[in-house]
Amino acid sequence: MCLHAPVLSLSGRNTMNPFSLEGKVALVTGAGRGLGQGIARALAQAGADIVGVVNTSRSTQTRDEIETLGRQYDEIQADLSQTSSAAQVVAQASAFHGHIDILVNNSGIIKRNDSLAYTEEEWDLVVDLNLKSVFFLCQAFARQVISQGTPAKIINIASMLSYKGGFRVPSYTASKSGVKGITMSLANEWAGKGINVNAIAPGYMATDNTENLREDPVRAAEILGRIPAGRWGSADDIGGAAVFLASRASDYVHGFTIAVDGGWLAR
C-alpha cells in the first residue's frame, strides 16, 4: 500500500496539493514572450492547459515549451487595444475546452516621452491596451465563468508604477495605477460570485519594456542599487506568484496586488 497516495474529496479533487491546476484552462495575454511566456510556462507546470493571446504569430517557443510539459497550447491572434476583441477572445478561448478558469491580463506597452511633449496618440495607445482592455477582458471573462457556474481566478499585471510616479511615462503610470485600482474594485463586486481578482506588480524585469533603461548606464545603476536582491528580475520570477493566485491556495485572497520586485519597494 502506498502511504503517500493523494487524498481525494467527495468530488474526486486532489486535496493534497492546493497549488495544483490540473483540469484548469488559463487564458494568458501576451503569452508569446517575456513575462507572459514565463507565466504561461509556470501555470502549465502546475497542470493547466494554456490559451495564449498574441498580436502576431510568434509564440512557437511558448507552444513548444507548453507541449513539452504535456499540456495543450492553443493560440488566438487579436488586437487587444480594440474593445470589441474582448468578448471574441474569451468566447474562442472557452470553446477550445468547453470552459475557462483563469485569466492573466499581461499584455501591455510603454511609451517614453517628456510630459510637456506627450501626445494624445501616445496616451491612447498605452491606456487603451494597458487599462481599458484589461477591464473589458475581465468583464467578458466574468460573464463567461458566471454562466459556467464555476469558480475562477483573474490575475492582472500591475507595475512598480502602480505605487510610484515614474519618469517620462505618464500614460504608463496612469494605466498601471488604474490596474491596481480596478483590481480592488472588481474584487469588491465579484468575490461573492466565486471570482478572485488579484494582481502582480513585477519589479524591474529584464524584458523588452526595460531595454532602454538597462542600456542607460546611469539609470541602470540607480535601479540596481535599490534592489536588495542585487539583480534584475526574470520572467521565471513571476511564476510562483501566478500559480499561487491561480490556484485554490489563494481562495481567500481578494483585491490584493503582490509585489514581486526583489525588495525594491522595501528599500
Q: Are 51 and 98 in contact (CB under 8 A)?
A: no
- 249 vs 71, 241, 242, CA distance in Å? 21, 11, 11
Q: Is 172 a catalytic residue?
A: yes
Please provide residue 119's backbone torsions phi and psi, each rounded to the nearest 5 degrees. Answer: -100, 160
The DSSP letter of residue 8 is B
pTM: 0.92
Distance CA 229, CA 199 (A): 22
Which residue is associated with the grid cell 504535456?
70
Q: What would the grid cell of residue 162 be?
A: 502602480
pLDDT tens series, the chain, 267 aa: 333 334 444 444 555 899 999 999 999 999 999 999 999 999 999 999 999 999 876 668 999 999 999 999 999 999 999 999 999 999 999 999 999 999 999 999 999 999 999 999 999 999 999 999 999 999 999 999 999 999 999 999 999 999 999 999 999 999 999 999 999 999 999 999 999 999 999 999 998 878 888 999 998 999 999 999 999 999 999 999 999 999 999 999 999 999 999 999 999
Catalytic residue among 73, 172, 204, 252: 172
- 233 vs 35, 72, 106, 247, CA distance in Å? 10, 27, 16, 23
The DSSP letter of residue 204 is S
